[in-house]
Amino acid sequence: MQSEEAIKQTIYDDPEKTTTSVGYSTVILIFFALMAVALLYVWSHTHMTELEYQVAREISIKEKLLDDQRKLKVEQATLRSSQRIEAIAKEKLGMSYPEREQVIILK
């Protein structure tokens, strides 16, 4: 019991010691809290910048794909042209329109 009272008395006898130790711990706690907030801000800003670059890359890829799609549609329309198919059939395959006698009408 006496040792407990002696400890309490030494703690309460020197109020300057308790205030400075509490003051330092408060300052250190505030410092670490501010550092955590600063790190969180820097991380979020960096992450946001990275996402913006990723969105820009994806938009660029989309534009390229849309351009390729337009070119492919034009090419498809050209390849499906009836004049082109008829020319290939006549020139390369040696085909011609059938004679009147060769046509059979089915009912």
Read off the pLDDT of residues 13-42 as tens digits, 9 standing for 90 and up: 555 555 566 788 999 999 999 999 999 999
Prediction pTM value = 0.55
Measure the CA–CA gap between 85 and 101, rounded to whole angstroms: 24
Q: Which residue has the tokens 């407990």?
A: 4
Q: What is the pLDDT of residue 11?
A: 53
44-79 pLDDT, tens per residue?
Answer: 999 999 999 999 999 999 999 999 999 999 999 999
